[in-house]
Amino acid sequence: MAGSTYGTILKVTTWGESHGKGIGVVVDGCPAGLPLTEADIQVYLDRRKPGQSKFTTARQEGDVVEILSGVFEGRTTGTPIALEVRNTDQRSHDYGNIMDVYRPGHADYTFDCKYGFRDYRGGGRSSGRETTGRVAAGAIACKLLKSLGITVRAYTRSVGEIEINDQAFQLDEMWNNRLYMPDAGAAQKAQAYLEEMMARRDSCGGVVECVIQGMPVGVGEPVFEKLDANLAKAILSIGAVKGFEIGDGFEAARALGSSNNDGFIISREGKEDGKEDGKEDKKEDGGGNGKRAGQEYKVVKSSNHSGGTLGGISDGSDIVIRAAFKPTPSIARSQHTVTRTGQELDIEIRGRHDPIIVPRAVVVVEAMAALTAADLLLVSMTSRLDRIQGFFGRG
């Protein structure tokens, strides 16, 4: 099977099936010397694992991670980092009644047509459990970014038609509810709505928003390897994601150029160094930053409709992306479908399933955004000769 590897320098390869012995990831290209322990990774996996509330599947997995290679005495060695999470609560018999049935909204039909057979136990590689490896790898990327002053934070923006109020936005509030919504009022309404969905044996979708702060200007390539294009690929590779936005997203299609363009202003930082007025040293780094009349300055945007990128390259503003998740396809109410042999029938899917994917997907979006940002940061290190010369002491 192709397509299980993502990244250019910071490469991640996930492996394993939903009901196999275990699931995991290999992370290659992580610089040596990064402090890393299993506890650093576990805190991210705990946000994704099942059984956290009545709004998530009752499958009881501890999702305990083990570092198999790539770390010595608490620091990365620069060699591939192998991570494993053992599956401990498989109930493959829950899927016995659908082994020859194509479940509506799932990848059963397409997987079967592509490979000629499929792992019907929860979807195999197509299962949401595959994201365990992504989150484990994302934890490493987040720690790498943090060492550079870059943070990545995702949260639930909406559940169904219930959306957070930007005026009531409090990021820390997301830790006070199991829906990870940074708006207490919206979270209460969303919980009531989900209880209604459960009573109706149905499910719903929602939107996850993610913000990357501290990304320097100049990350991303201007053609096929755009920062926003890579973020889109990373986010859309998550199962159940059906839409991606950056900045104003689809709202930009209804805007005017005069309102959608982000203006530029000069932000003066630092202290004057004694230069006399009118005597400029004009020290600039070729990226809109420099020093004039002894005072440091930088170019910043007066708004952020673009969502932190221009021409596929980071512009120094917050990178703001959104992922739209479809309703959980596994629902208990009757649905019409067909079998592999062409028989039509109605099915009711048994087993343990989330009435909504979004809360557990928040950390998955965060992980994929972090992996993309970290990878393109490393790629961008070779963009300019003067910086390469400076790195090797040849400038």
Q: Is 48 marked within a binding site?
A: yes
Residue 54 marked in a binding site: yes
The model's pTM is: 0.90
Q: Are residues 185 and 125 in the same domain?
A: yes
Domain assignment of residue 284, given as a range: 263-300
Is 126 within any annotated ligand binding site? Answer: yes
Residues 67, 196 within the same domain: yes
Residues 310 and 350 in one domain: yes
User: Is 352 annotated as ligand-binding?
Assistant: yes
CA distance 181 to 174: 5
Annotated binding residue at 216? no
Mean pLDDT within 72-93: 87
Confidence of residue 123 (pLDDT cuts 50, 70, 90): confident
Model pLDDT, residue 2 = 81
For 70-76, which contacts have Cβ atoms below 8 Å and span 24 or more sequence positions? 70/27, 70/30, 71/36, 71/37, 74/35, 74/36, 74/37, 75/32, 75/33, 75/34, 75/35, 75/36, 76/30, 76/31, 76/32, 76/33, 76/34, 76/36, 76/140
Query: 361 and 290: one domain?
Result: no
Of 283, 300, 317, the residue that ends a domain is: 300
Q: What total of structural domains would you count in the chain?
A: 2
311 is in an annotated binding site: yes
**Across residues 328-357, what is the average pLDDT?**
86
**Contact call for residues 240 and 128 (beta carbons, < 8 A):** yes
Least confident of 13-27, 87-101, 266-280: 266-280
Give mean pLDDT, residues 145-152: 98
**Average pLDDT of 156-171?**
97
Give tens-digit pLDDT for 109-121: 998 898 887 777 7
The Cα–Cα gap between 180 and 171 comes to 9
Residues 63 and 28 in one domain: yes
Q: At CA 202, angle to CA 198 and CA 204, rounded to 5?
A: 95
Q: Please, what's the b/e burial string for 48-68 (b: 16 or more CB within 10 A of its CB; e: otherwise)?
A: bbbeeeebbbebebebebebe
Are 145 and 236 found together in one domain?
A: yes
Which has more pLDDT, 285 or 213?
Answer: 213
Rounded mean pLDDT of 293-301? Answer: 80
pLDDT for the residue 57? 55
Q: What is the pLDDT of residues 181-198, one digit of tens each?
A: 999 999 999 999 999 999
Say if residue 127 carries a ligand binding annotation: yes
Q: What is the mean pLDDT of the chain?
A: 89
Residue 279 has pLDDT above 50, yes or no: no
Q: For residues 164 and 222, state if they share a domain.
A: yes
pLDDT of 13-25, one tens digit each?
Answer: 999 988 889 999 9
Tell which of 300, 324, 346 closes a domain. Answer: 300
CATH number at residue 364: 3.60.150.10
Q: Does the annotation place 279 within a ligand binding site? A: no
Q: What is the arithmetic mean of pLDDT over 290-307?
A: 83
Pair (286, 319) in one structural domain: no
The annotation status of 326 as a binding-site residue, yes or no, is: yes
pLDDT number for residue 119: 77
Please indicate, yes or no, whether residues 16 and 26 belong to a single structural domain of this protein.
yes
Is 104 marked as binding a ligand?
no
pLDDT of 56 reads 57
Among 250, 284, 300, where does a domain finish? Answer: 300
CA distance 167 to 164: 9
287 neighbors 297 (Cβ within 8 angstroms): no
